[in-house]
Structure 1
């Protein structure tokens, strides 16, 4: 029985070095990567027809075709072979359809068709908007290797002149990620956006900036429609709803929660403080926590590590999950969301006590709360959760209209 091929990874394929003679590695399902003595890497498809081994069908150059796309093509060709049809003609047509990616416009289309295919709808939409509105009209006709940092700065300056510094920064990040992809595929040698500091384009002080309602909704919708694990989606949503610190959430244990009373008591010892912290949970948070409890993988931690040992996820896990979505506000979202909540709650709350109560004190207690104070804090927590829900619903509706 033939030995089953171990699937390749993008980083493994990217790191393959040329040897004195060309060689190939199998990914499985007939897909192989052939490495030439020049360093060029070519995807091939290995198959048999009528019980006879056939010459390899060429899928295309690795620089133009990612591992994910090559696998999809191999699957298509395997289905043809299963019907007794040679895939050679189809593979030839597919290769003819591949862009050369010599110009930035061509490279951007390749990027959107391959690297961006697995991203969320919102992420693809915002990336496409930045490319079509500002990047490609200005430099789309230039060769990939002719684009310089000066071009990127000029594009960002034009966007800032429209009064949109945040969009300028987003556009710079789109170009940066595009060139990271091209460099990995050996279609570019330098990243013109990498040498343009983000702070030179737009500076947002994390202690003063507040997300708008639209940004809250867009962020949560991107998380909701992403491919990250369900527990991480819930963790990010709870971070928004509860307004606690990231470490308080990821290290939380089930014995801290009384879901019947919608109360989360974070012990003073864990906080290294003199008193427990009380977090009054809105209905939405309780529903999410009950879902996690039904499918819990740990008797201790709410967000256990997937490694199987009884410990919580790493503190960096949520940062990495959001970074994978390509959100340009991820640092702010994870570290300063309480200020955003406080700002919106001040606008929503008319009585005077709200104006002198910060988000932090709303969610914590240094002494026993009176019944009236507890009821008020519960009301505020629910009001905030309902507001967040409304922003997410608006983002869903907007995506369905434009999708």
Structure 2
């Protein structure tokens, strides 16, 4: 840069960072160099700023300015609101290391007193993510929010249960870090990405897929409404299916029973796999993934009728409605947008390595 040799800047530990994130970081560093900015000097300056952080408000400002940069506008808004509305006015001047679980519990109780238990849980989760960030940068030693189980803050009804963004990431990271069989990990990930019912995944047959066309046609015989349902697969789902295909244990079922090729895994298998993880995700059943996807997509501004179609719900056709080509493009867009959002949640909780 400027004719001078620059020190090497590291992107991160290859064991802890995905190829997608590594490429994004490499592109960011390349753009900085092209603009005459040294990535190494910038990293040193940021570390210098971190060394001056002592109270929670300073830590939160650093977190919001750096960690939130790659998040969606909605995610940034809700996280900032949770911290600035209820947490920082009370604890902002307190030393980061002096904040206790009792402090966080008191704030959550105050929010619940306003009749907003879900907001209390969201606030606890925002503080938990903040402290994960601070611990990774050695600005905190413990996470006070982690000491408060979710069930002691709010107990949402499973029929209305929607996973918060950080819960999506927590669950999928735990799934991949667990000892359950690799095919079951991929099955659970596909269940999240495709917005289908558990039985659709469990009974999926290879004959239903066109991986080159990124389509999965679930036959009418297996659908509640008695019509074929086409799932327009995001590229992440295609990659998972190709991995399963390469290690294909069955010519018939995508997820065959370990007892034989002639039948799929039992419907209870995925429930048992999730239960074995012992996650701090309360009042959750696998069917909640569908509601979770629909809710977050609506918050992203996607049309409700298109979301309902992605869920294989019956939607009344309207005059002048979308034609086949437009419908296909819309469904592909929705499922790809959702898969990218899920990716972001998985990556957001991975340990970072300073570069």
TM-score range, shorter chain: 0.5 to 0.7
State the match for 2:336 in structure 1. Answer: 382
Report SS of the residue matched to 1:384. Answer: helix
Distance 1:344 1:316, change over 3 A: same
* 1:296-348 CA-partner distances (Å, limit 9, x unpaired): 11110000111224211111111111111102437625111111111111222
- The whole-number CA distance in structure 2 between the counterparts of 1:266 and 1:252 is 8
* 1:117-152 CA-partner distances (Å, limit 9, x unpaired): xxxxxxxxxxxxxxxx76xx9xxxxxxxxxxxxxxx
* 1:244-273 CA-partner distances (Å, limit 9, x unpaired): 100111111000111111001010112253
State the match for 1:205 in structure 2. Answer: 157
- The whole-number CA distance in structure 2 between the counterparts of 1:335 and 1:233 is 16
State the match for 1:357 in structure 2. Answer: 305
Distance 1:200 1:393, change over 3 A: closer
Of 295, 300, 304 in structure 1, the residue corresponding to residue 256 of structure 2 is: 304
In the alignment, does 2:183 pair up with 1:231? yes
In the alignment, does 2:342 pair up with 1:394? no
Structure 2 stretches lacking a partner, 5+ long: 1-99, 122-149
Offset of 1:365 from its aligned partner? 7.8
Offset of 1:158 from its aligned partner? 7.0
Of 216, 220, 224 in structure 2, the residue corresponding to residue 268 of structure 1 is: 220
State the match for 1:321 in structure 2. Answer: 273
- The whole-number CA distance in structure 2 between the counterparts of 1:251 and 1:369 is 30
Q: Which has the higher contact order (CA 8 A, sep 6+)?
A: 2
In the alignment, does 2:230 pair up with 1:282? no
Report SS of the residue matched to 2:178. Answer: coil
In the alignment, does 2:285 pair up with 1:295? no
* Map 1:103-252 → 2, pairs under 5 A: 161=109, 163=111, 202-252=154-204
Offset of 1:357 from its aligned partner? 2.2
- The whole-number CA distance in structure 2 between the counterparts of 1:330 and 1:256 is 34
Q: Does structure 2 conserve the Cα–Cα contact (< 8 Å) formed by 1:279 and 1:364?
A: no
Of 296, 299, 302 in structure 2, the residue corresponding to residue 347 of structure 1 is: 299
* Map 1:45-64 → 2, pairs under 5 A: none
* Map 1:26-45 → 2, pairs under 5 A: none
In the alignment, does 2:201 pair up with 1:253? no
Q: Does structure 1 conserve the Cα–Cα contact (< 8 Å) formed by 2:250 and 2:256?
A: yes
- The whole-number CA distance in structure 2 between the counterparts of 1:209 and 1:263 is 29
* 1:342-390 CA-partner distances (Å, limit 9, x unpaired): 11112223xxxx3432634224386996101101110111111111111
Offset of 1:205 from its aligned partner? 1.6
- The whole-number CA distance in structure 2 between the counterparts of 1:369 and 1:222 is 41
Q: Does structure 1 conserve the Cα–Cα contact (< 8 Å) formed by 2:215 and 2:232?
A: yes
Aligned residues: 218
- The whole-number CA distance in structure 1 between the counterparts of 2:185 and 2:269 is 11
Distance 1:330 1:299, change over 3 A: farther
Report SS of the residue matched to 2:159. Answer: coil
Report SS of the residue matched to 1:211. Answer: coil
State the match for 1:31 in structure 2. Answer: none
Offset of 1:219 from its aligned partner? 1.0
Given the two structures, how large is their TM-score scaled by the length of structure 2?
0.54
Report SS of the residue matched to 2:155. Answer: coil
Greater Rg by CA: 1
Report SS of the residue matched to 1:325. Answer: coil
- The whole-number CA distance in structure 1 between the counterparts of 2:332 and 2:189 is 18
- The whole-number CA distance in structure 1 between the counterparts of 2:215 and 2:313 is 12
Distance 1:215 1:199, change over 3 A: closer
- The whole-number CA distance in structure 2 between the counterparts of 1:330 and 1:226 is 19
Q: Does structure 2 conserve the Cα–Cα contact (< 8 Å) formed by 1:339 and 1:359?
A: no
